[in-house]
């Protein structure tokens, strides 16, 4: 805060040395004559309204203030033009949100437009322009030079500022072309206004000013409706994209990224709702996911908690409106906030929190767009969950959660095709069986046996090499598919796995004893290894070879050992 105040003071000193000094110098050396102050007041009103309600082109505001300031300049000279322009700057700043304080922005823009007014007036004088002249072609040439220089130097200053800030921005753009094309629009408009003032007088404000103002409003409303239609189309595209995703995580991540991009939010957070509590599910700041240590929020706690409690969206325009309500985490740059509940079947499933570093950034109409997006989101999440459940039932073992026999065969076929196409050089299969598992079931009960299978499955997943697949082959048998791993490496892996299983403590609560209490059990395993292409290049043969090595090489040799297939 102290740095911001010091910076504002520096701008204020520069402003004092340039703007008031410039105005005094112009007034003393080029004083306005025969000023109709009623006209000047109307110029100021029209200038303010023109800049406060700009025309929007593709969402970009276009300020046609020169249609007011040029006639004021031609009528009364540079001093009056500077006064009208300085007051119009306030309207520009009020209509455009920014991270910088309003007073600081005023000092910067006031100095810029003072410089532009003086430079444009100098060129007007160089080409022979005269204040109050009504000679047609000399006035057209002089006004054209005035407007061109005003626009050109404005773009030069902005380019220098962009270079100073080291922002990557193209030198030529559509916005630049629009700026110069607007000269052809403003030139006849400002001259017509000026000549009407000379010939008709004050009635010109009624003939041109009021129609221009209302036309600007109509164009603005039209552009707003076009923006809404564009947002609706974009929301539809986002919804279609979400519906094509097959996992819940993919839907959530895509939704957060798309919403953040569409609403230009620097901060996007998605909270999951469970039993009156909100848990931070995703954090997305400045176009990347981050991890935040964020405590659970109860209903009514913080901004998101208030949305959960009231089941209503909340919009804040600036930080001071919500800072006292916020809990735990709120980055310093955060200003505007848009927070909405996400509901499905009259039940709040989540809360979405969007924030911008600009003040007054979010608009009420965006709530409808966001509500539509949230509907797409909840439907897509539900669909993804259903698909995941269907896939799990089809591909996974219900008891262990590992892949089942059907999936293992399909995966092994895929990896064998990759081997034959030289995408990988080796393919190994490691088959594992629990030793004396029937005794475990007979001693402790089948539920305890199932518990051991479940715990072993988690250990097997934890040991899975990158790129490999592990699944339950049947009963107490498990299979690893290891693409890119040769037989020697597979045997070393199997030996390490056998030792890990033999040393692991499995805690169960036996069913077949009267005094049920936790009991530590240890098991051993026998493992068979077979590899392609050294042993075979057929899928089923590779599995049979691993099975043969398991039973003939490991089980019959005494169990609790690793055996590799030998032709």
Residues 159-183: pLDDT tens digits? 787 676 665 655 556 666 767 777 7
**231: pLDDT strictly greater than 80:** no
Q: Identify whether residues 100 and 163 lie together within a single domain.
A: yes
Q: Identify whether residues 405 and 551 lie together within a single domain.
A: yes
Kindly tell me the sign of the dihedral angle through the C-alpha atoms of 399, 400, 405, 409. Answer: positive
Identify the pLDDT of residue 226.
62
Q: Identify whether residues 31 and 117 lie together within a single domain.
A: yes
CATH number reported for the structural domain that contains residue 191 in this entry:
1.10.1760
How far is 525 from 453, CA to CA, in rounded Å?
12
How far is 371 from 277, CA to CA, in rounded Å?
22
H/E stretch holding 320 reads helix 319-322
What is the percent of the chain where pLDDT is above 70?
A: 89
CATH number reported for the structural domain that contains residue 257 in this entry:
3.30.450.40
Average pLDDT over residues 122-132: 92
Q: Is 214 contained in some domain?
A: no
Q: Identify whether residues 417 and 548 lie together within a single domain.
A: yes
H/E stretch holding 387 reads helix 366-395
Cα 192–Cα 197–Cα 203 angle in degrees, nearest 5: 110
Identify the pLDDT of residue 2.
47
Q: For 404-437, write each residue's pLDDT tens digit.
A: 988 898 899 999 999 999 999 999 999 999 999 9
Q: Identify whether residues 337 and 432 lie together within a single domain.
A: no
Q: For 497-515, write each residue's pLDDT tens digit.
A: 999 999 999 988 887 666 6
**482: pLDDT strictly greater than 90:** yes
How far is 58 from 263, CA to CA, in rounded Å?
15
**What are the backbone dihedrals phi and psi of residue 421, each rounded to the nearest 5 degrees, phi first?**
-95, 10
Q: Which pair of structure tokens corresponds to residue 57? A: 């082109």
Across the chain, what does the average pLDDT equal? 86
How far is 462 from 470, CA to CA, in rounded Å?
10
Q: Identify whether residues 369 and 416 lie together within a single domain.
A: no
**270: pLDDT strictly greater than 80:** yes
How far is 467 from 38, CA to CA, in rounded Å?
81
Average pLDDT over residues 200-213: 79
Cα 319–Cα 369–Cα 249 angle in degrees, nearest 5: 85
Quickly list H helices, 33-101: 37-52, 66-76, 78-95
Which of 362, 392, 422 delimits the end of a domain?
392
Which of 392, 410, 430 delimits the end of a domain?
392
Q: Is 488 contained in some domain?
A: yes
How far is 97 from 357, CA to CA, in rounded Å?
9
For residue 312, CA distances in Å to 25, 276, 353, 368, 431 come to: 57, 15, 13, 13, 56
- The domain in which residue 298 lies consists of 243-392
Beta strands at 297-298 and 277-285: parallel, antiparallel or unpaired: antiparallel
Which of 365, 392, 419 delimits the end of a domain?
392
Q: Identify whether residues 460 and 497 lie together within a single domain.
A: yes
| Closest to 342 measured CA to CA, from 268, 286, 396, 400 | 268
Q: Is 218 contained in some domain?
A: no
Kindly tell me the sign of the dihedral angle through the C-alpha atoms of 314, 319, 320, 323. Answer: positive
Q: Identify whether residues 77 and 187 lie together within a single domain.
A: yes
Identify the pLDDT of residue 51.
81
Identify the weakest region by mean pLDDT among 17-31, 112-126, 356-370, 426-440. 356-370
Q: Is 212 contained in some domain?
A: no
Q: 68 CB contacts (<8 Å, ≥6 apart)?
A: 43, 46, 47, 50, 84, 88, 190, 193
Q: What is the pTM of this model?
A: 0.52
Q: Identify whether residues 108 and 132 lie together within a single domain.
A: yes
Identify the pLDDT of residue 398.
81
Q: Is 359 contained in some domain?
A: yes
| Closest to 289 measured CA to CA, from 254, 327, 324 | 254
How far is 154 from 117, CA to CA, in rounded Å?
10
Q: Identify whether residues 431 and 514 lie together within a single domain.
A: yes
CATH number reported for the structural domain that contains residue 436 in this entry:
3.30.70.270
Average pLDDT over residues 328-344: 89
Q: Is 215 contained in some domain?
A: no
Q: Identify whether residues 51 and 67 lie together within a single domain.
A: yes
**476: pLDDT strictly greater than 50:** yes
Q: 526 CB contacts (<8 Å, ≥6 apart)?
A: 432, 433, 435, 550, 551, 554, 555, 559, 560, 561, 562, 563
Identify the pLDDT of residue 145.
92
Identify the pLDDT of residue 190.
87
Q: Identify whether residues 163 and 270 lie together within a single domain.
A: no
User: Cβ-count burial of 227 within 10 angstroms (0-12 exposed, 13-18 middle, 19+ buried)?
Assistant: middle
Identify the pLDDT of residue 567.
77
Q: Is 209 contained in some domain?
A: no
pLDDT-based confidence at 205, cuts 50/70/90?
Answer: confident
Locus of tokens 């595209």? 237
Q: Is 238 contained in some domain?
A: no
How many separate domains does the chain show? 3
| Closest to 401 measured CA to CA, from 437, 465, 467, 450 | 450
């Amino acid at each position: 805060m102290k740095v911001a105040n010091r910076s504002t003071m520096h701008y204020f000193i520069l402003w004092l040395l340039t703007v008031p000094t410039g105005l005094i110098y112009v007034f003393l050396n080029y004083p306005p004559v025969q000023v109709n102050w009623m006209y000047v007041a109307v110029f100021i009103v029209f200038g303010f309204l023109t800049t406060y309600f700009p025309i929007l082109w593709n969402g970009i505001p276009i300020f046609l203030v020169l249609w007011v300031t040029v006639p004021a300049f031609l009528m009364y000279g540079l001093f009056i033009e500077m006064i009208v322009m300085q007051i119009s700057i306030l309207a520009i700043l009020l209509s455009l949100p920014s991270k910088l304080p309003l007073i600081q922005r005023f000092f910067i823009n006031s100095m810029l437009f003072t410089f532009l007014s003086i430079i444009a007036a100098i060129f007007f004088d160089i080409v022979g322009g005269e204040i109050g002249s009504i000679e047609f072609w000399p006035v057209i040439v002089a006004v054209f030079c005035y407007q061109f220089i005003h626009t050109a130097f404005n773009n030069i200053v902005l380019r220098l500022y962009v270079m100073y800030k080291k922002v990557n921005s193209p030198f030529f753009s559509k916005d630049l072309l629009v700026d110069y094309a607007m000269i052809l629009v403003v030139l006849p408009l400002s001259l017509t206004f000026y000549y009407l003032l000379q010939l008709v007088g004050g009635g010109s404000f009624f003939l041109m000013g009021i129609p221009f103002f209302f036309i600007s409003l109509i164009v603005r409303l039209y552009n707003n409706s076009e923006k809404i239609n564009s947002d609706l189309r974009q929301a539809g595209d986002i919804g279609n994209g979400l519906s094509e995703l097959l996992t819940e995580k993919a839907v959530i991540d895509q939704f957060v990224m798309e919403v953040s991009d569409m609403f230009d939010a620097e901060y996007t957070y998605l909270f999951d709702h469970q039993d009156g509590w909100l848990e931070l599910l995703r954090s997305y700041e400045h176009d990347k996911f981050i991890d935040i240590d964020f405590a659970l929020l109860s209903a009514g706690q913080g901004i998101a908690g208030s949305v959960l409690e009231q089941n209503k969206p909340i919009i804040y325009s600036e930080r001071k409106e919500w800072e006292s309500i916020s809990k735990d985490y709120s980055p310093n740059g955060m200003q505007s906030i848009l927070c909405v509940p996400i509901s499905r079947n009259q039940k709040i499933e989540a809360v979405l929190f969007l924030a911008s570093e600009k003040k007054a950034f979010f608009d009420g109409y965006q709530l409808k767009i966001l509500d539509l997006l949230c509907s797409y989101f909840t439907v897509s999440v539900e669909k993804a969950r259903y698909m995941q459940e269907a896939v799990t039932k089809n591909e996974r073992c219900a008891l262990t959660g590992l892949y089942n026999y059907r999936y293992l065969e399909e995966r092994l076929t895929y990896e064998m095709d990759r081997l034959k196409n030289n995408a990988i050089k080796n393919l190994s299969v490691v088959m594992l069986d629990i030793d004396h598992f029937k005794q475990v079931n007979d001693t402790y009960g089948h539920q305890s046996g199932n518990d051991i299978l479940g715990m072993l499955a988690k250990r097997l997943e934890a040991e899975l090499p990158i790129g490999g697949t592990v699944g339950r082959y049947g009963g107490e048998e498990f299979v690893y598919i290891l693409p890119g791993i040769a037989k020697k490496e597979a045997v070393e892996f199997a030996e390490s796995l056998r030792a890990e299983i033999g040393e692991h403590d499995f805690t169960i609560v036996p069913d077949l004893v009267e005094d049920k209490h936790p009991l530590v059990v240890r098991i051993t395993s026998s493992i068979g290894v077979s590899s392609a292409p050294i042993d075979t290049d057929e899928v089923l043969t590779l599995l049979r070879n691993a099975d043969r090595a398991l039973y003939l090489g490991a089980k019959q040799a005494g169990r609790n050992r690793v055996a590799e297939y030998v032709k």
